[in-house]
Chains A and B, each alone.
Chain A
């Protein structure tokens, strides 16, 4: 029996989900559309960003929204040397945990920088907004050094 050619074919499987945001994440995204970032106050007074629907300690429903700053501090980061197709940049960038001014919990987002040396723990960064905001996390295009 002769060996045939290796046959292969591209195949894409798509799960075209739409997700309901609920009132709290919906409010967060609605505020993003207006270029504003909100958190929510937990039972112990912590400001949580992005806001959660329920208190992480007591599980009670949360509703006290708080505006937070558009600048903050890098708490930790990972430098992405080789971005993949789904990543927000086609050149190297950082994923970072960013503690926004007025928040008590860091939020993950991407940081644009020319090199890994330009990113460090404790560095101050500010939000860069997309040209058009639609009510999605990518309305904040990225953070960059202040």
Chain B
């Protein structure tokens, strides 16, 4: 085909047409406050003045009530697995080698989950209600990032029943 239609050149059948969107992501007041505390090794949330739910990371308002959240609440780095997924396919730009576990974790003292990694565990043993705790990087490596916590590892504590997940006080879970 190429010899018939053209000389000394291959027929063009495809082009590269990438689109790059460049953002300057600004954290905003509540997440900036959260990240400033994370830099000091402390997880914090914000409590809604109306429904008393504690949000982490805080966004500065309660999505359910539509009111600003200002009261800062210190949280534990112990948490409960609310849900999880085992990632088996490499993700472009992500240096973590599969298979690895990504989990929605509710820290003690909060009512909603954030996403983080789980490790020091057999992936097949990870389950909803499992108790875990953050494994932090050395303090000199802390920055404005949730990466200050390398991952969460299992705790030797009884599982939290599904109906109690997201309702554990900051003092912890006795079983």
Contact = CB atoms under 8 A, between A and B. Distances in A.
Interface of A: 1, 3-21, 26-27, 29-31, 33-34, 135-136
B9 interface: yes
- Give the most central of B13, B17, B24, B70: most A CB within 10 Å: B13
Nearest to B71: A1
Top 6 nearest A-B pairs (CB, nearest first) are: A135-B12, A29-B12, A7-B27, A4-B36, A11-B23, A8-B26
B6 interface: yes
Interface of B: 5-27, 29, 31-33, 35-36, 70, 72, 144
If over half of B's interface residues share one DSSP class (helix, strand or loop), that class is named, otherwise mixed; here it is mixed
Contacts of A15: 18-21
A7 B18 CA distance: 29
A12 B26 contact: no
Contact of A12 (B7, B17, B20, B70): B20
A18 B13 CA distance: 10
Main secondary structure of the interface of A (DSSP, over half): mixed
A26 B26 contact: no
A8 B6 contact: no
Given A8-B26, A29-B12, A14 B18 contact: yes
A13 B21 CA distance: 5
Contact of B18 (A11, A16, A29, A31): A16
A34 B15 contact: no
Nearest to A34: B9
Contacts of B33: 1, 3-4
A27 B6 CA distance: 9
Contact of A11 (B5, B6, B14, B25): B25
Nearest to A134: B12
Max chain A CB contacts within 10 Å: which of B7, B9, B10, B35?
B9
Contacts of B24: 8-11
Contacts of B17: 17-19
Contacts of A20: 13-14
Contact of A8 (B7, B18, B22, B27): B27
Nearest to B15: A19
Contacts of A7: 26-27, 31-32, 35-36, 144
A29 B15 contact: yes
B13 A12 contact: no
A14 B23 CA distance: 11
A1 B27 CA distance: 17
B72 A1 contact: yes
7 contacts: A4-B36, A14-B20, A18-B17, A30-B9, A33-B9, A135-B12, A135-B15
